[in-house]
């Protein structure tokens, strides 16, 4: 008979916080002892409850996925290091804040961040879709638009940074849209005074369905702050359609349809032709209450980046609308 396998309990890793003025040691629990919030390319994100800290809010901890190939791990560690540097210099209520950057005993990097909310906007979209509901209420979409625009205006104008990967997955929501925050600045790019990416060798990463024409490999042109605006417009579209841009061919009513059949029915050529274009939207079906968000979506998804508004222009328009809605209606007295 073989001897039973022995499993060792993972040990906590003691590290030093880069944000503590006194260099106070902090403890990042091993992955199995934290709730997994989600995952991204080469990384996992966990919820860290700061037990024993009076009134201490939880942190979100991003760690390298050790299952990646060795060469990939090095790339993701470098990217996480860059994200920590960028995030450390950011301070805005609509962007997830920096808390600590650490190195575990195994050499892997850990980025501790403000816990921005229970779910990503993408999670909420998927849940709403599963529940058989339609578009989010117009007021919710407008609130997300306003708060994300505030975050983008800060990044573009004050920090001269292009987020580089706007989409519903990178917006976190707390409660019933109590707070809205942008996250994941790991692929951000520096902008110059003319809002162009300053390094000609810099690569726009993004995520394919949200990429504008100028960022596509075959169509690659000058990347500016307007690349974020295109993806921002598609994020609003996601909330109105509960779908992913240009992937409607993957939507099937038959839940039992085999994955192989879906792959066979996927028109790859048609998909790539649609990238960088404005996806269809049935504005009439949405109704009049969505008019402002529909108009904003159309403006932001112009193929010509020069025709798209800046984050500042979007913010000015949305804040003006918000102020008008708060004003009491005029009372007309007829003699």
Task: Give catalytic residue positions.
Answer: 165
Q: Do 141 and 293 form a contact (C-beta atoms < 8 A)? A: yes
> Do residues 300 and 308 lie in contact, with contact meaning Cβ atoms separated by under 8 Å?
yes
Query: Whose structure tokens read 């025709």?
Result: 307
Q: Is 52 exposed, middle or buried (0-12, 13-18, 19+ CB in 10 A)?
A: exposed
The CA radius of gyration of the chain, in Å to the nearest whole number, is 22
DSSP string, 184-233: --TT-EEB-TTSBBS-TT------GGG-BGGGSTTT----BTHHHHHHHH
| 174 neighbors 144 (Cβ within 8 angstroms) | no
In terms of Cα–Cα distance, which of 281, 300, 289, 277 is closest to 240?
Answer: 281
Q: How far is CA 257 from CA 25, 62, 252, in A?
A: 52, 35, 8
Identify the CA nearest to 226 among candidates 196, 203, 200, 246. Answer: 196
- Long-range contacts, stretch 80-84, CB < 8 angstroms, 24+ apart: 80/43, 80/109, 80/111, 80/186, 81/109, 82/186, 83/111, 83/184, 83/185, 83/186, 83/188, 84/18, 84/109, 84/111
Total residues belonging to the chain: 335
Strands (E), the chain: 13-16, 25-28, 35-40, 43-48, 59-64, 98-103, 109-114, 119-120, 161-162, 171-174, 179-182, 189-190
């Amino acid at each position: 008979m073989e001897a039973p396998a022995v499993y060792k309990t993972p040990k906590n890793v003691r590290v030093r916080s880069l944000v503590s003025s006194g260099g106070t040691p902090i403890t990042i629990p091993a992955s199995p002892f934290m709730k997994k919030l989600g995952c991204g390319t080469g990384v996992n994100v966990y919820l860290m409850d700061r037990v024993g800290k009076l009134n201490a809010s939880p942190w979100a901890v991003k760690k390298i996925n050790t299952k990646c190939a060795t060469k990939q791990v090095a790339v993701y560690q470098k990217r996480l290091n860059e994200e920590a540097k960028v995030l450390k210099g950011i301070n805005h209520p609509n962007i997830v804040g920096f808390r600590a950057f650490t190195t575990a005993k195994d050499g892997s990097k850990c980025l501790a961040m403000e816990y921005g909310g229970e779910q990503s906007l993408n999670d909420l979209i998927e849940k709403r879709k599963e529940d058989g509901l339609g578009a989010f209420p117009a007021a919710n979409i407008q609130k997300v638009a306003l708060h994300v625009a505030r975050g983008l205006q800060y990044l573009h104008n004050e920090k001269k940074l292009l987020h580089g990967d706007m989409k519903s997955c990178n917006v976190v929501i707390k409660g019933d849209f109590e707070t809205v925050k942008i996250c994941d600045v790991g692929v951000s790019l520096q902008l110059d005074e003319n809002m162009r990416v300053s390094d000609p060798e810099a690569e726009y990463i993004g995520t394919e369905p949200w990429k504008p024409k100028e960022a596509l490999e075959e169509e690659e042109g000058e990347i500016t702050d307007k690349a974020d605006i295109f993806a921002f417009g598609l994020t609003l579209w996601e909330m109105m359609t509960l779908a992913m841009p240009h992937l409607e061919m993957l939507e099937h009513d038959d839940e039992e349809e085999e994955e192989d059949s879906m792959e066979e029915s996927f028109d790859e050529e048609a998909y790539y032709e649609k990238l960088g274009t404005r996806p269809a939207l049935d504005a009439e079906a949405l109704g009049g209450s969505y008019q402002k968000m529909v108009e904003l979506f159309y403006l932001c998804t112009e193929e010509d980046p020069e025709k798209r508004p800046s984050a500042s222009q979007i913010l000015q328009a949305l804040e003006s609308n918000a102020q008008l809605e708060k004003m009491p209606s005029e009372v007309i007295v007829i003699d």
